[in-house]
Amino acid sequence: MFHSAPKLTLISKPVFTEPAHLPVHWLGESSDGERLAEFAGRLCYMSQRNPANRQTREYLENIKRQGHGSVLEHANYSVLAEGISRSLTHELVRHRAGWGYSQLSQRYVDESEAHFVIPPAILDDPALEKSWKSQMETAQKVYVELVEQLMERYSWVADKVHRRKMAREAARGVLPNSTETKIVMTGNARAWRTMLELRSSEGAELEIRRFAVAALRLMQEEAPGFFSDFEIYTADDRREAARIAYHKV
């Protein structure tokens, strides 16, 4: 099977429990994650009274403008990402600060029926797709043959789970970068902002850029107070990209 777009599912978000002895004068619409960050920010100055009468999302706008990124670190979001390639996750996991990852293991999981992700630059060009798909099919066929041969070669290994792992970890060497993978990624709102800024920009590789724009939409819907300063636009290369208003180094 071939994938032509990522599938992203938000699987975890903050649940905020306001301490009864420090109530905040909340204003405006907000999610638990946004209220958690506002609560943490207000604690610094004990300004729970909300003297400026700011709505939560106005308050967070000011936090972003001033670059008080640490306040955003309290809110963590987990996303299950599927329909993305191993080359994409190779780049994704370079984002370390504030991130946790768990990715499908090619040593344990049988890839005989692996899926592949069509690189965006190849997508919708019949000739390019044909040539690319034939390479994927060949690689998969060789993978299956290698696993069988390796299972034979190491038939003396009594533990079958271990033998399979030995076979798969060697055979995966012929699987291409385009092999589909799945990853659970958890990051705090500050870490998400940094990753999304870098990977949704025009300089990013096309597949991770498409992924970052999709992730940005998901996060903007969940917690606009953290991501409202990103603007999605169509770049000169006719693909979507995003830019950020409040860049933080």
Residues at the interface with ligand FAD (CB under 6 A): 94-97, 194, 198, 203-204
> Nearer Cβ to ligand FAD, position 56 or 194?
194
> Nearer Cβ to ligand FAD, position 97 or 245?
97
Shortest Å, Cβ 204 to ligand FAD = 5
Longest dimension (CA), the chain: 75
SS (H, E, C) 166-214: HHHHHHHHHCCCCEEEEEEEEEEHHHHHHHHHHHCCCCCCHHHHHHHHH
> Nearer Cβ to ligand FAD, position 7 or 94?
94
Shortest Å, Cβ 97 to ligand FAD = 4
Shortest Å, Cβ 61 to ligand FAD = 23
> What is the token pair recorded at 90?
């190779």
Measured between alpha carbons, how far is residue 221 from residues 30, 31, 69, 174, 237 in Å?
Answer: 11, 10, 20, 39, 26
Sign of CA dihedral 186, 227, 218, 205: negative
CA angle at 194 for the pair 191 and 195, rounded to the nearest 5°: 85
Active site residues: 199
> Nearer Cβ to ligand FAD, position 86 or 95?
95
Say if residues 2 and 116 touch (Cβ distance below 8 Å): yes
Shortest Å, Cβ 182 to ligand FAD = 21
